[in-house]
Structure 1
């Protein structure tokens, strides 16, 4: 298994401990919830975000994306639903790419999104990446709000399934790797507020419209 996105260079700005997400473990446990990827899924357009769509921290995302080395291959994305969390957004450092983290009064980097720098493994065909993420992560979500095929592989940090005794993931760190059709990077979305919150973030993830 490749360990290529989350590196020690993941240093989110300001004080405190390094922000999200250690690398996946070498031997993740797969769950029966993993869907079998296929190379036959045709790309179909998703509904475009309307002019009334409320993006969270859109200006900051665009600002960080605009300074990133990978801005030509990793379009800006933002949340449209943060599940009632009222985090304070801030710029974050993500090697070769861009990131925005959200802090809560009692929890630094409670959730966020990042577009990591492109690595060689991301240059393969979408079906190959789909298969790889399905093998790596215990859960998979199709992102129907985006152009298909767009999907996320997710679970606990380390590519682990949620524990039977704590299936909601409360008090643990959830992480998703996201592939969006026509984008070359593998986005990271994380939440330290539980599994349901991470899934809400993923369902509300949208490409930011380019400003005129």
Structure 2
């Protein structure tokens, strides 16, 4: 027992921490996403997502309503639904293959992003809400409603990801999303 405590104390003093596997680490918003996903009509075709790391600023997760689907919104003090992600209810276009989905999103949204941390092919079309470019006077989209439509390889739904903070924050969210095992 003393040896174990001594080893832990030495590790803490040296700044080294025991490694934790991704299997035992809960992702940000995971519990809420799993809870909402379990109640959703589209749970067979739209796996839950969560964030790999907490954002700055870090919001408080809560359920977000998406008819037929599931959602997690993050509230900040004074800003309800500051950011979040959702698996929307099944739309007829959601059954199309990735090539058709990519073309649809490219035509609809002013910006596209590949998402290498999600199963391939994963990509997002995004911009200011309403599928608009960010204005020249505010290319960073600070304080605007940024929205992305996201396709994840192997899933048959269009995910929504949003940020009312900035374009950079939305892009950070897209890069930090992880698909949860069902």
If the length of structure 2 is used for normalisation, what is the TM-score?
Answer: 0.85
CA distance in 2, matches of 1:191, 1:58: 18
Q: Give the equivalent residue in structure 2 for 1:112.
A: 84
CA distance in 1, matches of 2:141, 2:69: 28
For residues 3-35 of structure 1, give each alpha carbon's deviation from its aligned partner in whole angstroms, at most 9, with x where no partner exists.
Answer: xxxxxxxxxxxxxxxxxxxxxxxxxxxxxxxxx
Q: Whose RCO is larger (CA < 8 A, sep 6+)?
A: 1
CA distance in 1, matches of 2:55, 2:139: 18
Task: After TM superposition, give the deviation of residue 112 of structure 1 in Å.
Answer: 0.5
Match status 1:57 vs 2:29: yes
Do the aligned residues in 2 keep the contact of 1:96 with 1:117 (CA within 8 Å)? yes
Do the aligned residues in 1 keep the contact of 2:109 with 2:132 (CA within 8 Å)? yes
Structure 1 ranges of 4+ moved more than 4 A = none
Structure 1 unaligned segments of length 5 or more: list them.
Answer: 1-48
* CA-based RMSD: 1.3
Do the aligned residues in 2 keep the contact of 1:65 with 1:97 (CA within 8 Å)? yes
Structure 2 unaligned segments of length 5 or more: list them.
Answer: 1-20
Query: Which structure: larger Rg?
Result: 2
Do the aligned residues in 1 keep the contact of 2:122 with 2:150 (CA within 8 Å)? yes
